[in-house]
Amino acid sequence: MSHTPLIKAKQVILALSGLYALRMLGLFLIYPVLAIYAVHLPGATPFLIGLAMGIYGLSQAILQIPFGILSDKFGRKPLIIIGLLLFAAGSVVAALSHDIYGLIIGRVLQGTGAISAVITALLADLLAPERRAKAMAIVGLTIGMAFGLSLILAPALGATVGLSGIFWVITALILLSLVVLVFFVPEPVQTQQALPSVQLSTVFYNWQLWLLNISAFFLHALLTTLFLWLPARLNELASAWYQQSFIYLVLLVGSYAVMMPILMRAEKSYQQKRVVQGSIIAFALTLLYFAFMPNTLWHLLLGILLFLIPFNLLEATLPSWVSRLAPQQTRGAAMGMYATMQFLGIFAGGVGAGALLNYLSFSKVFLSFSVLMIIWFIIVRGLKQLTKQE
């Protein structure tokens, strides 16, 4: 396997980060607006809206590993191109849909473009081992920025072009990411060969990795659940799109201002386990707060900030921990499993919360999920803290 020289390594990192950012922006743009606009589609119910939000994650989870295996045989870029085209096709179907069922079909098709693990493998193919950790950190940062940018842009797009228009914007973003891939990302001379099953089993049976994967599941189930409720509540208390965009911008900046010192201190002192445990406790308290808070804008803003701080902490901590804990020769497989659990969490959060909302209020749903936080906290007690050698 060949790696790019130092001069081209920066171009590879920049191009793959741009590819990740465009694709994730296309995914995240729908979060702040789907629950608001989907309610007006014919046939919409709380369960079907939750299904439309989360079904993307199911097809992503099912196809992550098959896409990775096929990329070992046929090359990374061809599989990424296929995945992006499937994502774009699903976006077109969703944009043209006139009822909730068409939207669900479009979301399923979007999810069939399961290329997260393949992009990670391509990055590993193109960069020498000593450059991969820095590259993964940059990619992680761009994903976080894409999430933040989607929160700021989505209210404006929803107000001007509607739900259908947002899916057309997503289609354009995916086509732009294809341009980045084709013209700016080189094809490795020789891709990594599929790992022997014995080596893969060391990842599959690594309980420490599974604890991190389970954490990714809970984290993204919680995120999807929150965005089934939050957009409508925020729209009720601050109806103007520019107010919502400004609110998200201020809260994101505030959350990063709080979480970055915590993250840096934890990295230096190897206290990542405390970060995970503290974040879970913060989530439990925030859910209780959401369940009982007064219906005012300022109370809602405080709740969003209390959620974003631990969310951003774990979004940065968990994948970094997986990449450091997994053996180098199985790191791609480990990240693929992590992505699979992440997307399963998106599906479970959307479908589970949507089903509960047929019988319970959001307050009771939040109380139910606060119990799940206790279970999550008990599970991660088995995590072993990282050391300097890892």
pTM: 0.86
CATH classification number, 6-380, choose in 1.10.1330.10, 1.10.10.10, 3.40.50.20, 1.20.1250.20: 1.20.1250.20
- What average pLDDT does the chain have? 86
Predicted pLDDT of residue 386: 73
Radius of gyration (C-alpha) of the chain in whole angstroms: 20
Predicted pLDDT of residue 132: 67
pLDDT of 203 higher than 90 = no
Ranges 71-75, 288-292, 320-324, most confident = 288-292
Determine the Cα–Cα distance for residues 109 and 180; give it in Å rounded to an integer: 22
What is the rounded average pLDDT of the residues 60-68?
87
pLDDT of 120 higher than 90 = no
Give phi and psi for 147, each to the nearest 5. -60, -45
Helix (H, G, I), strand (E, B) or coil at 5: coil
In percent, the amount of the chain with pLDDT more than 90 equals 56
Predicted pLDDT of residue 7: 45
Q: What is the secondary structure of 345-381 as a DSSP string? A: HHHHHHHHHHHHTTTS-HHHHHHHHHHHHHHHHHHHT
What is the rounded average pLDDT of the residues 235-240?
89
Count each helix (H run) and each strand (E run) in the chain, helices first.
14, 0
Question: In angstroms, how far is CA 342 from the centroid of its own chain?
Answer: 7
Predicted pLDDT of residue 207: 87
Length of the chain, in residues: 390
Residue 389's pLDDT band (cuts 50, 70, 90): low
Closest CA to 244 of 32, 31, 27: 32
pLDDT of 105 higher than 90 = yes
Predicted pLDDT of residue 6: 47
**How many other C-beta atoms are found inside a 10 Å radius of the C-beta of residue 169?**
18
Quick: pLDDT tens for 163-183. Answer: 999 999 999 999 999 998 988
Determine the Cα–Cα distance for residues 215 and 107; give it in Å rounded to an integer: 24
* Token digits of residue 71: 């990329």
Predicted pLDDT of residue 381: 93
